[in-house]
Chains A and B, each alone.
Chain A
Amino acid sequence: MAGSFLPMRLVHLAPLLWLASVAPLAAQVPSDTGSATALSTADLAATERLFVSQCARCHGMGGTGGIAPAFRQPKLRRAPTDDALVQIILNGIPGTAMAGFWNLSEEEAQEITAYVRSLGRLPPEVVPGDPACGRELYQKTGTCATCHILAGEGAGWAPDLTDVGRRLNAAFLRQALVEPGANQPVLPLPSVHGPYPAYLVIEVTTGAGKTLRGTRVSEDDFTLVLRADDGRLHSLDKFSLKGFRKLPGQSPMPNFASAFSSEQLDDLIAYLASLKGEP
């Protein structure tokens, strides 16, 4: 079956299995269990497999983060309590890419919760670089804030960076800076055919023969809403267009690989990784 729908997410995510080195991670998990649900070592291995199959695709192996937040933090903003986390696992977070996992029993959600809490007790990721220097770079290069918003400052059409350190790990941030086209961000919109790329660059020729290039804000079979390079929105009837070209691998984000020294990149990443938003 499994075609039946939404919980499909299970099936999308069921993939990675336990291919990766799961055992070493299990060994790292502290044995003290302050969490409401205690896990024996055997349970832990089973739960870890569940985590790998259901959560790791977005949250990273061992909860190190990816397109979704890392779990190696003592407090999870949206899940102050274990019950809150269980509810998020089962019902999702409206308005985000986090869908509910109907395929999991409440018991399994509790087991995953205990596992996620155990990840929160691991030492945080070590990021080389000086956040203070990174902050200066962010503010003084002058280009970041022309697209990004941070604590209410700057332009808001590119991703909000206010709590980016809570959502994305250092490796992801580095790739975004030095290889911006490689890791296409995904829209926090419900999607039923896998992640829906955000900020996809599209070039169109209008019925009047004008060429427009910009990033996709929204698209279906009949409509394309494009944010042109000048920042203006264009609502286009696709059937009236003379040309239409998707340019995957391109990004409106400039490549900073050569703009910064490797030390400066470390500093900037350290700064971004330190951005946790409101406590």
Chain B
Amino acid sequence: MRRLFLTATLAAVALPLLAQVPDARLRDARREPANWLTYSGDFGAQRYSPLSQITPANVGSLRPAWVYQATEAGAMQASPLVVDGVMYLTEFRGHVVALDARSGRVLWRYQQTLPAKLLTLGFGPTNRGIAVLDSTVFVGTADARLVALDARSGAVRWTVPVADNALGYAITAAPLAFGDLVIVGISGAEAGIRGFLDAYDARTGERRWRFYTIPAPGEPGSESWGGDAWKTGGGSTWVTGSYDPALNLVYWGVGNPGPDWNGDLRPGDNLYTCALVALDATTGQLRWHFQFTPHDTHDWDASQIPVLFDGKFKGQPRKFVAMANRNGFYYLLDRVTGEFLLGEPYIRQDWAEGLDAKGRPIFRPNIEPTEGGTPLTPNLHGATNWYSPAFSPRTGLLYVASRQMGSRYFKAPVSYTPGRFFMGGGETEFGGDTAQGAVQALDPMTGKARWRFPLFSPPWAGLLATGGGLVFGGTNEGVFFSLDAASGRPLWHFQTGAMIQANPVSYAIADRQYVAVAAGGTLQVFSLVEPKAGPKP
């Protein structure tokens, strides 16, 4: 009873002070494991919680602590933030809600107003999360606006248009905030947009810079496009990137070229689609790029999380950026220079013989979509997708939820009409029981799997690694589960009642560690039945 009382008192004291999150706290997010301050947990996007109360020995007694039921119908894909006892979460259609992270009680709710005529071509009005900086919460909207809310009340500070939704531009990704900037990615390549990444002044909403992912004629990289194809070249930036404060570089994955499956209209490598770009955070200038899939015709966006970590490669200390890419290969790059260090397939793919010394794929013949259909693996959803991998500094392993599924790719004639699909084909996937998934623990220095936990179907949920030695993940069939981070052995699972298509997070309040994940229209939060069973977090 005494502990409960203490917890309640702390929460009562904490509430008036909440959400004072200066840049310094975000940079050192790892030093306050009780909070989850950015989309991926820290700027390096490791999705790792140092919390260690929940362990392989006691995870078997993990039980629901509370559940939040969204007001808006539709599956939640958001990864929540937790700041000093308050959880910030986005629902489907981008409503923002602040909850007491201990009890699940609602503190405030911001009702997102979207126009009746809304274009979300290739996705729905989903929202994957928010950013917090100082006492402001930032959320992008499905009609391509950026909104800043007071973190204490949900009141609007400012809202700015980012792009024209009538042309198919939309925002689904969580913004990334640091310094005095908010970085925002855009969706819409299936509508033939010209993609970009934007930075806004966190206080005023004024745009500081824009990096176009498709260079205009005369700019470096424009030679990789034919004719006017660059104008509708796609290159969305629809998954939140990472940031290295020491190098002052933002790392962001760029999506597929437009049209998706018919490459005839866009001869060339189509830079910077399906590439990782490293941008100067102050100016938005391109420092380097690495293209995973030149002239992509299979919708293999490089819209995965670029994970940052340091270590030694062939005896030399290096700063790394790693990406398990949608095309089926794992890549290790030097994040200072963009130098290709290593690439290995992590699923059974059949489109490339391998990678050359510079990391460029050696294409097999006859892989292009055709009118009659070309069977190929992976399918358009790739070997993994937008959901997050996790990197544990404790095990040194990169955990990836992977998809093993092929499909038949079709090509069709296509012409551009503003605000309409611009895809030029499609696919029939080889689904049902022929498709599978897996959680894989990759050795980031070799790309080889240390262990592999098979999944019933190709997943749509990300992973979380913890200091307690666990990996958490979710399945299409609604199971939230925990594996031993060292061996992949399943230790605990819980049927949440809805498909999981979100990334888990962990946080602590008083002396209790929580693990949270969205499932369907709910957010479900777990803790140990008996917190005394483990050491303090």
Contacts and interface: CB of A to CB of B under 8 A. Distances in A.
Interface of A: 1-8, 10-19, 53, 57, 102-103, 105-106, 184, 186, 190-197, 200, 219-223, 239, 246, 248
A15 B124 contact: no
B478 interface: yes
Contacts of B455: 221
Interface string B103-132: 000000000000001011111111000000
8 smallest CB-CB distances across A and B, nearest first, come from A194-B431, A14-B426, A4-B123, A220-B477, A15-B428, A3-B385, A2-B122, A15-B426
B303 A102 contact: no
Given A15-B428, A103-B121, A221-B477, A1 B256 contact: yes
Contacts of B125: 102
Given A4-B238, A219-B456, A15 B408 contact: yes
Nearest to A192: B476
Contact of B260 (A2, A191, A196, A220): A2
B428 A103 contact: no
B489 to A, nearest CB: 10
A190 B477 CA distance: 10
B456 A196 contact: no
Given A193-B429, A193-B476, 13 more contacts: A2-B190, A3-B380, A4-B123, A4-B187, A5-B123, A12-B427, A12-B431, A15-B410, A102-B124, A200-B433, A219-B477, A220-B479, A222-B493
B208 to A, nearest CB: 25
Nearest to B494: A222
- Most B CB contacts (10 A, CB to CB) among A2, A4, A192, A248 go to A4
B124 A7 contact: yes
B189 interface: yes
A8 B371 CA distance: 21
A220 B412 contact: no
A98 B3 CA distance: 51
Nearest to B405: A193
Contact of B299 (A2, A219, A222): A2
Given A15-B428, A192-B499, A196-B432, A1 B380 contact: no
Contact of B425 (A5, A14, A103, A193): A14
B372 interface: yes
A1 B481 contact: no
Nearest to A57: B428
A193 B421 CA distance: 22
B187 A14 contact: no
**Chain A interface, >50% SS class:** loop
A184 B301 CA distance: 33
**Chain B interface, >50% SS class:** loop
A239 to B, nearest CB: 7
21 contacts: A1-B188, A1-B238, A2-B122, A2-B123, A3-B380, A3-B385, A5-B124, A5-B460, A7-B120, A14-B425, A16-B426, A17-B426, A103-B421, A192-B499, A194-B432, A220-B456, A220-B475, A220-B479, A221-B454, A221-B475, A222-B490
Interface of B: 75, 77, 117, 119-126, 172, 187-190, 236, 238, 255-256, 260, 299, 301, 303, 326, 371-373, 380-382, 385-386, 405, 408, 410, 412, 421, 423, 425-433, 435, 454-458, 460, 475-479, 481, 490, 493, 495, 499, 501
A50 B426 CA distance: 12
Contacts of A192: 457, 460, 476, 499, 501
- Most B CB contacts (10 A, CB to CB) among A7, A195, A220 go to A220
A221 B123 CA distance: 27
Contacts of A246: 433
Contacts of A15: 373, 408, 410, 426-428
A276 to B, nearest CB: 29
A18 B490 CA distance: 46
Nearest to A100: B124
Contacts of B460: 5, 192
A7 B122 contact: yes
A8 B412 contact: no
A191 B429 CA distance: 13
A15 B369 CA distance: 11
A7 B123 contact: yes
Contact of A3 (B326, B478, B481): B326
A200 B433 CA distance: 10
A17 B412 contact: yes
A108 B326 CA distance: 31
Contacts of A3: 299, 301, 303, 326, 380-382, 385-386
Contact of A6 (B75, B303, B481): B75
Contacts of A12: 427-429, 431
A137 B454 CA distance: 47
- Most B CB contacts (10 A, CB to CB) among A14, A53, A200, A239 go to A14
Contacts of A103: 120-122, 421
Given A4-B238, A192-B499, A248 B433 contact: yes
Contacts of A14: 410, 423, 425-427
Contacts of A7: 120, 122-124
A5 B126 contact: yes
- Most A CB contacts (10 A, CB to CB) among B187, B457, B478 go to B457
A5 B239 CA distance: 13
Contacts of B454: 221
B114 to A, nearest CB: 13
Contacts of B458: 193
Contacts of B117: 106
Contacts of B478: 220
A2 B125 CA distance: 13
Given A17-B410, A103-B121, A193-B458, A1 B255 contact: yes
B49 to A, nearest CB: 23
A4 B122 contact: yes
